[in-house]
Structure 1
Amino acid sequence: MICNRAGVPGAGRPPTSLRRPGRRRLLALGLPTAWGAAAVTYKLSCPLAQQQGLGARAVTSALFFAVGTGLILHVRRALLRELRQARRVAGAAQSALLRPLPPRIGGLSVAAAQLSADRGAAIGGDLYEVVATEHGVRVVMGDVRGHGIAAIGTAAAVLGSFREAAHDEADLGGVLRRLERALGRHLRQRSHGEHPPAGPGPESDSPVAEEFVTVVVLEIGADGEVRALNCGHPWPYVLSGRGVEPLARADPLPPLGPFPLPPGLPVRHCGQLQPGEALFLHTDGAEDVRDARGRFFPLSKVLAETLRRHPSVVPHAVLGSVFTALLHHTRGAPSDDIALLALRNDRSRRPASGSPGATRPAGTHARPTPHL
């Protein structure tokens, strides 16, 4: 299920079925009871039902068949109504977790969407957020190990911490440490709730101790300078006139969870994102998904082809092209959740100090363009 992060109409008021539960329950129980009582009354008191002739038996069978069919249709209608109600509630809760992103944040054009591997699900263990702060636009993209309700709870804990830390912490390393602490608290609470300790044994025996989250945290300054910290997540791509290239090539830190962060966090300076250039963030499902022949999805080639068709790097067009190619590659059945996020710099050009038209600060080397 592809889910663009759009608002949910009516999410602020309870649905009609929740405002009138008594009437719904009365209809759900009263109608089948009335039908059953009428059928039993007919069988016990109607003279025609007591006859043994073929015509009488046919009438009785038709009556009970009609009552049974009506009961089945009524139960089916009730179940479908409850399913629609559950989906509406789940959609409202999921939109509260992954809030709809506005089309512009801090001078950047933004587009984000998800492709869920589970039919009917809008989100899973993938997470992302973009926040404009006094320190610059800060971005997080992450992937929680596993699926289901537990993964959604972990994603909520990490996202909630990021939304506060992005404003509070002046340094990008401080933001990442806040995420680590929030994840640790959440996993400890989950461990005690799901697997209460039977004794003084180590908590590492719990399956929750093996949980982890891959995450990349970015900061885009007012001058377009990009700083990044990466814990086990795929590096974003830069989409520009030079083509498609990774934001960095260094090995990331280990994922959050299994190992503590090092004392000194190596914040990586990735050069400037020039006006018209874009960052493309993704979870590992976008590159690890395979087709029927076992071939991985060629994400970089698809992005390069998209750039040739859309040189202006429209974020929504980029996401649409990638999702179309993903669905074609997997025949509409991806094996993993996929989240994509595109940000284009729409700010006016600010030359760096030094020679006119310089695009990178001193000491930053231009990224080589890979051969695709």
Structure 2
Amino acid sequence: MRRVRGLGLPVAWGTVAVTYRLTCPLAHHEGLGARLAGSAVLFAVGTGILLHARRTLLRELREARRIAGAAQGVLLRPLPERIDGLSVAAAQLSADPGAEIGGDLYEAVPTEHGVRVVMGDVRGHGIAALGTVAAVLGSFREAAYDEPDLERLLRRLDRALARHLRDRARTGHAAARPVPPHPVAEEFVTLLLLEIGPDGEIRALNCGHPWPYRVAGTRVEPLARADPLPPLGLFPLPAELPAVPCGHLLPGEALFLHTDGAEDARDAEGRFFSLPDVLAGAVREPPLAPRALLATVLTALLRHAHGAPSDDVALLMLRNDRAPSAPRDGGPCDTAPRAGHPTPCAQPTNQLR
């Protein structure tokens, strides 16, 4: 019925043109005045049809954006401000101007094993990447609570991605003539899994994703420098998947996770966005809350890319707001000290707030 009603105005304009041609005497004259009158009628009819088509397209675009916004609310649901003593803030920016969600994904959940975090980047961006984002996030939200270690969790995500790609290949084969040999051969996901234990111990598995930055006071440094595994979907996972130990996240320290769209953003002269320098400049002033720090980074990124990043961008920050662990029976702390901290239980002098 909506399509039938949508044809009403074009049919009316067409009726006007036909009626003029058949009944108006001017339509049968060859003089200049008759020709001008006929041209005016045709121009009015054409303009009316174009305006109607424009309104129809705008209405459909608004509906598509509304649906994309609803999908974003389901897939990248807002994270709580605090998870098991950690302050959390996240932001996402799509490179597709017609979409509110892209190919980046993130989630953080409290489990009995600690706070588990995933951040990933699906090949491609915009609405076309939504199916893969849904497959990976759906698997993580279930497996994060069930699996006892990161190795098994990563294997669950790998199997979920493989099933999704097989289903897409099967659908593509049914629709394609002739059948393409490898319809999803180049599909992959870069993925980072983190586990932050109750004592702040950090363990990680990285599949081709940028390492996060540790923000400790006014210092900004990579969380780890180990070589990552290949992205999911390109090669089978190795038989052994030992998680990378990344030290402890002490009270007041934060982790800044990001997708490669942040550091790959370029300005008009082709220079890359320097995320570490922007972070270091932001924490040099009075301590910022995670949400304020993300806003500062996003503002600098958009200014650098002139408001149009070439790839999706996702940012996630977690700050340890837990109380410092007290020594047991006057003994040493459970966590080992790191450079810049005289004792592992000492409160950092420059805390993020």
Q: Place the TM-score, normalised by the shorter chain, in its bin.
A: 0.7 to 0.9
Look up the match of 1:361. 335
Alignment of 1:216-365 (within 5 A): 216-311=192-287, 313-351=288-326, 353=328, 358=333, 361-362=335-336, 365=338
Q: Structure 2 unaligned segments of length 5 or more: list them.
A: 342-353
Classify 1:123/1:260 alpha carbon distance in 2 versus 1 (closer, same or farther; 3 Å): same
Q: Is the 8 A contact 1:195 1:206 kept in 2?
A: no
Q: Is the 8 A contact 2:101 2:127 kept in 1?
A: no
CA shift, 1:216, in A, is 0.9
CA shift, 1:68, in A, is 2.4
Please point out which of 121, 145, 153 is paired with 2:131.
Answer: 153
CA shift, 1:183, in A, is 1.5
1:193-228 deviations in Å (ceiling 9; x for gaps): 3247x9xxxx9x625234322211111222222221
CA shift, 1:54, in A, is 4.9
Look up the match of 2:108. 130
Moved more, 62-71 or 158-167: 62-71
Look up the match of 1:99. 77
CA shift, 1:155, in A, is 2.1
Q: Is the 8 A contact 1:352 1:361 kept in 2?
A: no
CA shift, 1:260, in A, is 2.7
Classify 1:175/1:227 alpha carbon distance in 2 versus 1 (closer, same or farther; 3 Å): same
CA shift, 1:247, in A, is 1.4
CA shift, 1:163, in A, is 0.5
Q: Is the 8 A contact 1:283 1:339 kept in 2?
A: yes
Number of residues paired by the alignment? 337
CA shift, 1:336, in A, is 1.7
Identity value in percent = 69
- TM-score when scaled to structure 2? 0.85
Residue type of the alignment partner of 2:48: G
Classify 1:36/1:279 alpha carbon distance in 2 versus 1 (closer, same or farther; 3 Å): same
CA shift, 1:252, in A, is 2.0
Moved more, 142-151 or 81-90: 142-151
Question: What is the SS of the residue equivalent to 2:184?
Answer: helix
Please point out which of 155, 167, 185 is paired with 1:177.
Answer: 155
Question: What is the SS of the residue equivalent to 2:15?
Answer: helix
Q: Is the 8 A contact 1:315 1:344 kept in 2?
A: yes
